[in-house]
Amino acid sequence: MLDVMSRIAIGADHAGFLLKQHLIEMLVALGHDVQDLGTHSQESVDYPPICAGVGRAVRDGNADVGVVLGGSGQGEQLAANKVRGVRAALCNDLYTARMAREHNNANVLSMGARVVGIGLAEEIVTMFLATPFAGGRHERRVAQLSEIEQEEADH
């Protein structure tokens, strides 16, 4: 489980902007330190640089976890996962949010603002933040993911 107060980097494209604004308010009210990495309006914008920025904030230790938002969350997850050390998980339901943290030690949450409503999004973020990594046999698997990442970086 993350500390009561976590440092959270958050970013969204235009489709995720309104949900991002809502989640920032929620997270700040809960006592989290939130870094808003954009976008700052509903004007059309490309998501890859924003989501990679969230991933870099996590990788560099400037945030404990990240949240990326878009229409479906698919592209946002892909962009964040291009950053070495990021384990971004697309979680549009509570079960995948719990499993992403418990089994995969995911450090970036991706959601689709056109898939989940505000209430469910709040629950997913809460679940993601509250679920600890189980460790055990899952540590070996997460280590294998890091090994694959390293092998691919060497090629």
Over 90: is that where the pLDDT of 88 sits? yes
> What's the rounded mean pLDDT across residues 15-43?
97
User: Is pLDDT of 4 > 60?
Assistant: no
Q: Which pLDDT band, with edges at 50, 70 and 90, does 118 fall under?
A: very high
With pLDDT > 90 as the criterion, what percentage of the chain qualifies?
Answer: 96
Residue pointed to by tokens 């993911």: 145
Mean pLDDT of 100-104: 97
Look at residues 115, 67, 107, 70 and name the one whose alpha carbon lies nearest to residue 86. Answer: 107
Over residues 123-145, the mean pLDDT reads 96
> Hey, what domains does the chain have and what are their CATH numbers?
7-153 (3.40.1400.10)
Active site residues: 76, 103
Tokens of 123: 């629950």
CB atoms within 10 A of CB 33: 13
Examine the pLDDT at 1 and tell me if it is beyond 60.
no
pLDDT for residue 115: 98
Q: What is the mean pLDDT of residues 5-31?
A: 96
Q: What is the pLDDT of residue 141?
A: 94
Q: What is the pLDDT of residues 30-79, one digit of tens each?
A: 999 999 999 999 999 999 999 999 999 999 999 999 999 999 999 999 99
Distance, CA of 75 to CA of 90 (rounded, Å): 10
For residue 64, what pLDDT is reported? 97
